[in-house]
Amino acid sequence: MKRRIILIPKDDLVYYPPTISLINVLLDLNIDIVCVGEYSDSDRKSKLEQAGVKFVPIYRKIKDVSNIRVLNWLFVIIRMKIYQRRIKSYLQSGEVCNDDLIWFIYSNSVGYIQKYIEKFDYIIQFYEFENFALNGKSKFLHPSYDVHRLLTRAKALIHCEYNRAVITNGLYGINKCFYILPNKPYDSNNVELVPIPGDVNEIIEVTKGKVTGKKVILYQGIFNPAERRLDDFCEAMSLLPDDYVFIAMGGGGGYFEEMEKKYSSDRIIFIPFIRPPFHLEITKMASFGVLTYHPANYTYVGVINPLYCAPNKIFEFGKFGIPMISNDVPGLKMIFSEYNCGKTVRYPLTPQKIAETILSMGQSYQEMSKGARAYYDSIDFKETVLEIIE
């Protein structure tokens, strides 16, 4: 129980609330933590440092630098080689000892650092189903990469959802126990809450003024035209009574800008990405939570992940007793059926069906609200982490 954990996250922690939840619960378990990565929210990073988390500023930069694909690819290789060299130097510096446990959040950086983390005891955690096969360029760069060895040697394999865990075991011939650690928010008793920043508080207050007394339908997450498809939800607003408002909040980009330009109105409000956990100040305003996950054609990764999605949004809505509406995917349909916390819209998804489903949810709103909170309470995040560590 007292061994130190060396956490290697997937990306900047500001984009991964589940990693923050993991750090928080490890703090409550009095485990020493070293985070080898980046956290661009300086105020919350400072609070974690005060609580005992040590940050080692080694991280992979993944943002594109050019519109030219070949140039981007070359820059990625250069940056990843730098990342590899720095990770190697850190793990071989003597600062990490054999009693430490590497907790690696799986990413495509694994080919660069596999041979270094395998020298220690390590855990592999997945936030979604991954395609472990390397393409031609990657095989050339990482000839020693061996996914079967990586997974079988791990002290534990952790997934956020059962179906994808079983699929991973089956596809890659892994015959070992796995753990399910859902993407549930967890607030540490050891980390004092950071005041809401001024710029964020301004967005919250303006939004509150627009939706007071309204029934808020909320989408929060990335804006991806292939997978998320929010047009139908925007168009459904014309079929709902005037006291319904739709908020779309999350990562920007071309689709966000396109949607905002096309649909923005008094009843359809667009809010840019708000860094966690402050986005929950918008979440708590919602009456209904939108979950939309459309399988992307032609790749099994692009199909399996949307079908068996297990987003942190389910728990963020559940925390506030917010019933959910989604397109028809098994991962969500099973949860909604068991806990009566939401409804799926049968294919094909249309504005008319969305409006009808939302109005029907209003007839049993209190029961569904209790179901949403029951789902949130059904997962003991801390107990699962404790089981893994032991």
What pLDDT is attached to residue 136?
Answer: 59
> Do residues 317 and 369 both lie within one domain?
yes
Residue 386, in any domain of the structure: no
Q: Which of 158, 192, 226 is the last residue of a domain?
A: 192
Does residue 299 or residue 253 have the better pLDDT? Answer: 299
Q: Tokens standing for 60?
A: 């992979």
Range of the structural domain that residue 209 is part of:
198-377
Q: What is the mean pLDDT of residues 200-218?
A: 96
Residue 388, in any domain of the structure: no
> Do residues 176 and 203 both lie within one domain?
no
Q: Which of 169, 192, 215 is the last residue of a domain?
A: 192
For residue range 303-315, what is the model confidence (pLDDT) as tens digits?
Answer: 999 999 988 999 9
For residue range 112-136, what is the model confidence (pLDDT) as tens digits?
Answer: 899 999 999 999 999 998 877 666 5
Q: Which of 175, 192, 209 is the last residue of a domain?
A: 192
What pLDDT is attached to residue 48?
Answer: 94
Residue 1 has pLDDT above 60, yes or no: no
Strand order in 121-125's β-sheet? 54-56, 33-36, 5-8, 101-105, 121-125, 156-159, 178-180
> Do residues 242 and 110 both lie within one domain?
no
Domain count, the chain: 2
For residue range 278-327, what is the model confidence (pLDDT) as tens digits?
Answer: 999 999 999 999 999 998 877 888 899 999 998 899 999 999 999 999 99
pTM of the model: 0.90
> Do residues 231 and 92 both lie within one domain?
no
Residue 382, in any domain of the structure: no
> Do residues 141 and 248 both lie within one domain?
no
> Do residues 136 and 208 both lie within one domain?
no
**Maximum average pLDDT range among 128-132, 296-300, 347-351, 354-358:** 354-358
> Do residues 34 and 88 both lie within one domain?
yes
What pLDDT is attached to residue 253?
Answer: 73
> Do residues 247 and 325 both lie within one domain?
yes
Residue 189 has pLDDT above 70, yes or no: no
> Do residues 130 and 225 both lie within one domain?
no
For residue range 151-166, what is the model confidence (pLDDT) as tens digits?
Answer: 999 999 999 999 999 9
Mean pLDDT score of the chain: 91
| Cα dihedral 102/104/109/114 (nearest 10) | 40
> Do residues 183 and 280 both lie within one domain?
no
Alpha-carbon distance 42 to 22, whole Å?
A: 18
Does residue 228 or residue 13 have the better pLDDT? Answer: 13
> What CATH code is carried by the domain that includes residue 343?
3.40.50.2000
